[in-house]
Amino acid sequence: MSRQSLCRPWEHQLSRRRLLGTMASGAAGLGAGALGGLVEPAVAEELSRQEKQVIFIWLDGGMSQLESWDPKPNTQFGGPFRDIETSVPGVRFSELLPHTARQMHHLAVVRSLHTQDNSHSAGVARINRGDPKNRGVVYPYFGSAVAKLLGPTSTGMPPYVWVKPYSSGFKADDAGFLGARYGALAIGDGEPKNDGLPLEPPENLLLNPAVSEADNQARNDLRRMFNKRYASSRRPEWTDASSYVFDVAHKLMERIDLFDDTKISDKDRERYGQHDLGRYMLMARRLIESGVRFVKVNSYHWDSHGDHFNGSQSLIPQFDQPFAALIEDLHDRSMLDNVLVVVMSEFGRTPRINSHVGRDHWPEAWSVAMAGAGLNRGLTVGKTNAEGTFVDGQEHDVGHLFHTWFQALGVASQEVEYNNAGQPLPIAHDDHWPIKELLA
């Protein structure tokens, strides 16, 4: 099969200080200059309708499929919760997802995942990278892959933003062999807080009040001149990443209103919830509206080895409320046709309940939910047996999901390839294929 050569990535390491220092410059060469400054909400909404974008919600630790997408009430391992009807006849969710159940007609749920790792240390990376064959290279996470394959939107906003609790700055590790340029710009709380305020901008993003706009412009002119001189005698792949960080950070500085508490309506606060995950998903929606290509949202504390059912009764509703609001908002804004939404973990939870009234790690049979761009809606794919212990019929690995997501975004996953310094590499596992039932 012929493949289209895609890129010539590089190996390049940048110091933390250089990446997290004061960041500013014009977005020349990134398609942002034509917009000339702050993007108005109506313009951003129109761009969001036209360009493929992604919201990737990562429930770190492993959400239980039995208490969410694939309940098995009144069975040996079903647990204490009932199942409820959804907006699609015949499809039932756990009663812990009442808001999301009403959005099922917008969703697609795969109940037949069978993956390879039952440890966090291996599973998190393998799932985020699509479980490629071991070729002696570090593959990019999905967000970095999308940043490379699709680039920034025409707004020039950062292509990959990570809403990450308690941590901010530029995170290059996700990019793997693609190089630091395709890492994530992370925003987070800085310190744990429960006051319902929006997230804080990355450290050093805001201009120091003692520096005037004129001085800042002069400094950046000088920086660009030095960068040009430095790059003139070196390979561009050794210099582009550092300059790029300044470029995308400058665009984010122009949308500092995203971190302004007064811009959040009381209605949105109520619909998304005052808890952390509600704030993070609301920020994800606003970032997508601003023109960010790929937004990753992290939620922690899903590793329920003990007291699983009380934990689920607390955590899952905190996911259910804002996730349903997010899907509803994207639909109402006519954005769902172009925004791919994925919610998943590194694995599911065991059907068997352990001696600590918990569920352990279970990659053998679990579920993932998605919606939006390029996908059929209101369907489930695959199933588990009556007790939820194993997949009944065709199993799907994460490589199948990567092929499906790329295809939904308009990338021919079985034809396009990476070119890693002359080494051709598939962008998704070459023994897997798209799940055709999911693709519109």
Res. 8: pLDDT tops 80: no
What is the reported pLDDT for 198?
59
Q: Are 151 and 173 in contact (CB under 8 A)?
A: no
pLDDT band of residue 256 (cuts 50, 70, 90) is confident
Task: Report the pLDDT averaged over residues 267-273.
Answer: 95
pLDDT value of residue 217: 79
Q: What are the φ and ψ backbone dihedral angles of 342, each rounded to 5 degrees? A: -130, 135
Using 50, 70 and 90 to split pLDDT, how confident is the model at 243? confident
Judged against a pLDDT cut of 60, whether residue 368 lies above it is answered with yes
Residue pLDDT, tens place only, 169-216: 888 899 999 988 899 998 887 554 445 455 766 666 667 788 887 887
Residue 391 pLDDT > 50, yes or no? yes
In angstroms, the CA 349 to CA 366 distance is 8
Comparing 166 with 64, which gets the higher pLDDT?
64
| Structure tokens that stand for 12 in this block | 């390049």
Model pTM?
0.84
Res. 303 pLDDT band, cuts 50 70 90: very high
Q: What is the pLDDT of residue 277?
A: 95
Residue with the larger pLDDT of the pair 216 and 347: 347
What is the DSSP pairing of strand 348-349 with strand 361-362?
Answer: antiparallel
For residue 238, what pLDDT is reported? Answer: 58
Average pLDDT value for residue range 74-84? 97
According to DSSP, the residues that pair with 123 across neighbouring strands are none
pLDDT at position 347, please? 98
In this prediction, residues 142-152 reach a mean pLDDT of: 96
Tell me the one-letter amino acid at 363. Answer: P
Give me 393's structure tokens.
């019929």
- Residue 100 belongs to what domain range? 4-438
Q: What is the pLDDT of residue 22?
A: 31
What is the model's pLDDT at position 366?
A: 98
Q: Which burial class, exposed, middle or buried, applies to 59 when counting CB atoms under 10 A from its CB (0-12, 13-18, 19+)?
A: buried
Q: What is the pLDDT of residue 24?
A: 31
- Report the pLDDT averaged over residues 126-150: 93
pLDDT, position 75? 97
| Residue 226's pLDDT band (cuts 50, 70, 90) | confident
What was the pLDDT predicted at 212? 82
Which residues, 6 or more positions from 192, have their beta carbon under 8 angstroms from its beta carbon?
165, 166
Lowest-confidence region among 7-11, 175-179, 433-437:
7-11
Q: d(Cα 341, Cα 368) in Å, to the nearest integer?
A: 11
- What percent of the chain shows pLDDT beyond 90? 65
CATH code (residue 290): 3.40.720
Cβ-based burial of 317 (10 A; exposed 0-12, middle 13-18, buried ≥19):
middle
Three-state secondary structure string covering the chain: CCCEECCCCCCCCCCHHHHHCCCCCCCCCCCCHHHCCCCCHHHHHHHHHHCCEEEEEEECCCCCHHHCCCCCCCCCCCCCCCEEECCCCCCEEECCCHHHHCCHHHEEEEEEECCCCCCHHHHHHHHHHCCCCCCCCCCCCHHHHHHHHHCCCCCCCCCEEEECCCCCEEECHHHHHHCHHHCEEEEECCCCCCCCCCCECCCCCCCCCCCCHHHHHHHHHHHHHHHHHHHCCCCHHHCHHHHHHHHHHHHHHHCHHHHCHHHCCHHHHHHHCCCHHHHHHHHHHHHHHHCCCEEEEEECCCCCCCCHHHHHHHHHHHHHHHHHHHHHHHHHCCCCCCEEEEEECCCEECCCCCCCCCCCEECCCEEEEEEECCECCCEEECCECCCCCCECCCCECHHHHHHHHHHHCCCCCCCEEEEECCEEEECCCCCCCCCHHHEC
What is the average pLDDT across 72-94? 98
Mean of the pLDDT values across residues 320-329? Answer: 98
How many distinct structural domains can be found in the chain? 1
pLDDT tens digit sequence for 15-74: 333 333 333 322 322 333 222 223 345 544 554 446 999 999 999 999 999 999 999 999
Tell me: the pLDDT tens digits for 397-411? 999 999 999 999 999
Torsion of CA 78, 58, 328, 407, to 10 degrees: -100
Assign residue 190 a region: left if phi > 0, alpha if psi is -120 to 50, beta otherwise?
left
